[in-house]
Amino acid sequence: HITTVTATLNGKPVLDAQWGGGLSKNPYLHFRVAGAKAGDTVSVTWVDNTGDKRTDEAKVG
């Protein structure tokens, strides 16, 4: 299960979440970032309890 989720805006931290084992199989995360502008980069990273890690990035539209 996912244990940690972090998000950055242009490399600056905007979210740090610690999740437990009571999460759904396909969790959904929604958050807003104040001050984000078109062209900014949002990066989200998750780590699971086995140490697997994934990072995805998207540009603000």
Q: Decide if pLDDT at 55 tops 90.
A: yes
pTM score over 0.85: yes
- 13-33 pLDDT, tens digit per residue, is 999 999 988 878 888 899 999
Q: Which residues of 7-45 are buried (b: 16+ CB within 10 A; e: fewer)?
A: bbbeeeebeeeebeeeeeeeeeeeeeeeeeeeeeebebe
Please determine, for residue 43, whether its predicted confidence score (pLDDT) is greater than 80: yes
